[in-house]
Amino acid sequence: MASLKDLRNRIASVKSTQKITAAMKMVAASKLKRAQDQAEAARPYAERMERMLGSLAAAVGSSAGAPKLLSGTGADRVHLLVVVTADRGLCGAFNGQVVRAARNLVHKLKADGKEVKILCVGRKGRDGLKRDFAGMILDTLDGLTRRGVQVEAADAIAARVSAMFADGDFDVCNVLYNRFKSAISQEFTSQQIIPFPAPLAPAAEDGARAAGPAAIYEFEPEEEAILKDILPRNLGIQLYRALLESYAGEQGARMAAMDNATRNAGEMIGRLTLNYNRTRQASITREMIEIVSGAEAV
């Protein structure tokens, strides 16, 4: 049985852990609010960008002159996976979820005979993948979200990805991340960004478009020039969005995890305190018995 002193030390240490987890929870909660607002503010742009690109893609079609970012290289051999995770742990299953899904995807692609390359954004993704796929990881970018998510960070990744694409290093690029659903739930998402996935059905929201999306738009300057501008931009925006969603998700996951930890620590303190009081009472009783029986013996 643990001595009174041991129990006292134990309680003190659990209490200080609880203080830390409670503080981390509050930090995550305040960051979450900001991250969530930012993620939600960025959604309209990304959605409209996709819509506009959809109309453009429909107009250009898969003609020979279409830029490669749109039509692809024609091959489907080398896949690049951009795995977006957090830099830090202590956020429940957040990183594990992405890493597990990425691992499954790599195995599946390899089983299909494809070559896989991985670009990790966030340190935890590399930590989780390097044991199995060390040779495939091209690089790890971390520290991007230390001061919140910035457009520049996403643009830098986009520039890098498109440079690799221009060099013919891969044919298809997917970005894997956790989409922010609510403060307590994130949804794993795999989004193809290169080549741009053509919309399955033209959005028939206004009459003009439903009539025939391919022919009706005028372009200023011509389609190719616009596409040349808009495609890299779109790449940056989609990555920016992934970073924002992932960052908001991370804060949400951390808040939930730390809330749990704080509650568990509270329960543990309760149990230990009960144990401590019982032990103390037992030792008092024992001492009294010793005194009484000593007195009787005299």
Q: Which of 94, 177, 180, 240 binds another protein (CB under 8 A)?
A: 240
Residue 55 in contact with another protein, rule: CB under 8 A: yes
Q: Decide whether 78 or 151 has the Cβ nearer to another protein.
A: 151
Q: Decide whether 151 or 268 has the Cβ nearer to another protein.
A: 151
Q: What is the dihedral of CA 214, 222, 62, 67, to 10 degrees?
A: -150
Query: Which of the stretches 69-77, 106-114, 203-211, 273-281 binds another protein when contact is defined by CB under 8 A?
Result: 203-211
Q: Which of 10, 88, 114, 233 binds another protein (CB under 8 A)?
A: 233
Q: Decide whether 2 or 166 has the Cβ nearer to another protein.
A: 166
Q: Which of 16, 132, 219, 270 binds another protein (CB under 8 A)?
A: 219
Encoding tokens for residue 294?
Answer: 């000593």
Mark whether 120 is an active-site residue.
Answer: no
Is the Cα torsion angle 160, 164, 165, 167 positive or negative in sign?
positive
Residue 196 in contact with another protein, rule: CB under 8 A: no
Q: Calculate the alpha carbon distances from 112 to 77, 101, 126, 171 in Å.
A: 10, 17, 23, 15
- Tell me if 121 sits within 8 A of 85, measured CB to CB: yes
Buried/exposed code over 85-101 (b: 16+ C-beta within 10 A; e: otherwise): bbbbebbbebbebbbeb
What is the smallest separation between the CB atom of 230 and another protein, expressed in angstroms?
A: 6
- Tell me if 263 sits within 8 A of 21, measured CB to CB: no
Q: Which of 216, 288, 291, 292 binds another protein (CB under 8 A)?
A: 216
What is the smallest separation between the CB atom of 65 and another protein, expressed in angstroms?
A: 17
Residue 26 in contact with another protein, rule: CB under 8 A: no
Residue with tokens 């819509």: 51
What is the smallest separation between the CB atom of 215 and another protein, expressed in angstroms?
A: 10
Q: Where are the alpha helices (DSSP H) in 61-150?
A: 68-71, 94-111, 123-133
The Cα–Cα gap between 93 and 80 comes to 24
Binding to another protein in span 115-154, by CB under 8 A: 151
What is the smallest separation between the CB atom of 203 and another protein, expressed in angstroms?
A: 11
- Tell me if 121 sits within 8 A of 82, measured CB to CB: yes
What is the smallest separation between the CB atom of 246 and another protein, expressed in angstroms?
A: 16
- From the candidates 7, 70, 91, 242, give the one annotated as an active-site residue: 91
